[in-house]
Amino acid sequence: MSSTTYSASPWNVNQLPGADGRVFLVTGGNAGIGYFVAEQLSATGATVVLGSRSPARAEVAMASIRARVPGSRVRTVLLDLADLSSLGTAVESLETERLDAVVHNAGVALDDPPRQETGDGHELMFGTNHLGHFALTQWLMPLLSAAPAARVVTMGSFAAKSERLDLDDLQSQKDYEPKRTYGRSKLAQMYFSVELDRRLRAAGSTVASVVVHPGGALDSLTPSRPPVHVRTAGARLRATPAALLVQGKHAGAWPAVRAVLDPAVRGGQLWGPRVFGLRGEPRREPVWDHLADLSVAARLWDASRDLTGTDLGVISG
């Protein structure tokens, strides 16, 4: 079934609908896919807030967007998802009465051991990528609920498709392997997104939760945005064969941008690249079988609530 089934007209990644007056937050908006999500959303007339743990990098990204998108309304907020106690202050500093969408994009990936922990004592990737966004959503819910039809868009990963959660070892205390732990942290985020939408629907909320993934997104196929990202001619040439299968991070941003902007996108859906889930324009795809396991999602939710000390208000039941 084509994506045009879900829209009145075909989606064009180069001609986005206007979003004047709306406010969007992109976590990790200073680099990688998050930067391109923010840059593309800035072209719609919306106010885009870059959430970043590095004020210096956020300023550089903001300057880059302003240079490429004249008249863009972009600003920054200090956001450290590895520090749960700081999230309330971060949300207060948004200084907005409503939030029309948040893109849960920020994340850390560790290529090599050893296992690291956040200041709260959580394994760093699980604690930042999943638990930080879980807790942030609680703080944002009043602002999201104040918007007419807000979206929580969670950036998953194709790496999560082959992973399964170990509910008895969510923090990889017994069995830590960096790539697997990263994939599981992203899978936990995706479970959270699906379960969040189920609870929002049960509560009659106007907020929708959508999960997306960028497919295969490589720096070497990503256009330069100096000094945020610089691609050399050599890297571009070496990556040419890979372009048949994967894409750059600017294209990896497309599913998230569509999930924020397209009124035909619905909560609980999964969106990714069109071609084998790895590259191309964004389309809706079937929710992966293991993501549909409600018992795993419920157990993860309860564990996340206990680990973060948060309870997502009207959607806690």
Integer Rg of the chain from CA: 18
Distance CA 36, CA 229 (A): 11
Distance CA 192, CA 114 (A): 27
According to DSSP, the β-strands at 101-104 and 23-27 are parallel
Distance CA 28, CA 105 (A): 6
Residue 182 appears among annotated catalytic residues: yes
**Token pair listed for 266:** 């619905």
Please report the DSSP string for 147-203 in residue order.
SSS-EEEEE--GGGTT----TT-TT-SSS--HHHHHHHHHHHHHHHHHHHHHHHHHT
* Catalytic position from the list 6, 35, 176, 182: 182
Distance CA 248, CA 299 (A): 35
C-beta of residue 205 within 8 angstroms of C-beta of residue 140: no
Q: Distances from the Cα of 8 to the Cαs of 4, 207, 269, in angstroms?
A: 7, 22, 18
Distance CA 270, CA 294 (A): 16
Closest CA to 73 of 95, 107, 92, 49: 49
Q: In a 10 Å sphere around its CB, with 0-12 CB exposed, 13-18 middle and 19+ buried, how is residue 261 labelled? A: buried
C-beta of residue 301 within 8 angstroms of C-beta of residue 135: no
Active site residues: 182
